[in-house]
């Protein structure tokens, strides 16, 4: 079965510290990989995507993600977290016209 | 303009009511999607339209009926819903549906309609 895993339900980090939100995937072929962010009572907002090329992808709001094919991972990172980054983050893999979403990770950034 | 709009923002309905959710985009996208999202869960795909034709139906019960009257609009007609259908319903659009060999379209999501079925 195709799946995307986000092993952490919640990540807590202090403002100014680096953050990592983990994602691994088990999707056949060479899926395209996405990160979305969702604020309370809002739809998903696109952050970044990996299709091919450089393993480090830069996206919106200072976020970046590192693709590792051997580990089938696509971790989201940011060098310095902001309180306003607190939200629910979804990793997704796209293949054969279908998105597979992870279960989501709640990021809490404390002042 | 990268905006997908959805109306209404909130909807409360009884199990015998008939209501509709509306989604609109003016980005020239030819693929549109309906998702259902329960609290603190990932979105679940319901339907996909490509060039105004239903392309994917993820075995959704017939009490949910999608409609794509034109390339900018997507409706979801609701009838005889159950309390467990209460959720956030998200609409999304993308340039196209086919991923091709090296190009895949980002989905742009609307803010959602919060549906409560009593």
Report the pLDDT value the prediction gives residue A41, as an integer from 0 to 100.
74
Report the pLDDT value the prediction gives residue B102, as an integer from 0 to 100.
41
Report the pLDDT value the prediction gives residue A35, as an integer from 0 to 100.
95
Is residue B74 classed exposed, middle or buried when 0-12, 13-18 and 19+ CB atoms within 10 A define those classes?
buried
Do B89 and B43 touch, CB atoms closer than 8 A? Answer: no
The shortest C-alpha distance from B74 to chain A (Å) reads 16
Confirm or reject contact between B41 and chain A (CB < 8 A): yes
Q: How many CB atoms lie within 10 A of CB B106?
A: 16
Report the pLDDT value the prediction gives residue B100, as an integer from 0 to 100.
44
Asked if the model's pLDDT at residue A2 lies above 70, the reply is yes
Contact at CB, A32 and B104, closer than 8 angstroms? yes
Report the pLDDT value the prediction gives residue B89, as an integer from 0 to 100.
96
Contact at CB, A42 and B112, closer than 8 angstroms? yes
Output the DSSP codes for chain B: ---EEEE-SEEEE-TT-EEEEEEEE-S---EEEEEEE-TTS--EEEEEEETTEEEEE-S--TTEEEEEEETTEEEEEEES--GGG-EEEEEEEES-S--TTT--PPPEE---EEEEE-
Confirm or reject contact between A97 and chain B (CB < 8 A): yes
> Which residue from B19, B4, B6 is spatially nearest to B116, judged by alpha carbons?
B19
Which of A42, A51, A103 is nearest residue B104 as measured by Cβ atoms?
A51
Mean pLDDT by 10 residues, chain B (118 residues): 87 93 93 91 90 89 95 95 95 74 68 94
Residue-wise pLDDT for A55-98, tens only, equals 999 998 999 999 999 999 999 999 999 999 999 999 999 887 77
Backbone angles phi, psi at A84, to 5 degrees: -70, -10
């Amino acid at each position: 079965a195709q799946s995307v895993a986000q092993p952490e339900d919640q990540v807590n980090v202090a403002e100014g510290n680096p953050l990592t939100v983990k994602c691994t995937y088990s999707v056949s072929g060479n899926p395209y990989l996405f990160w979305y962010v969702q604020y309370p009572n809002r739809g998903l907002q696109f952050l970044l995507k990996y299709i091919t090329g450089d393993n480090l992808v830069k996206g919106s709001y200072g976020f970046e993600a590192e693709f590792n094919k051997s580990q089938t991972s696509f971790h989201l990172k940011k060098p310095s977290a902001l309180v306003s980054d607190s939200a629910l983050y979804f990793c997704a893999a796209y293949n054969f016209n279908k998105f597979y979403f992870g279960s989501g990770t709640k990021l809490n950034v404390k002042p | 303009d990268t905006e997908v709009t959805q109306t209404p923002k909130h909807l409360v309905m009884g199990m015998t009511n008939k209501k509709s959710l509306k989604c609109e985009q003016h980005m020239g996208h030819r693929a549109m999607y309906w998702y259902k999202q329960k609290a603190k869960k990932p979105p679940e795909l319901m339907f996909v339209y490509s060039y105004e034709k239903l392309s994917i139906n993820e075995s959704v019960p017939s009490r949910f009926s999608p409609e794509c009257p034109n390339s900018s609009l997507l409706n979801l007609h609701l009838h005889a819903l159950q309390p467990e259908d209460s959720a956030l319903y998200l609409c999304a659009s993308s340039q196209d549906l086919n991923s091709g060999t090296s190009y895949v379209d980002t989905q742009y999501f609307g803010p959602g309609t919060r549906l409560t079925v009593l």
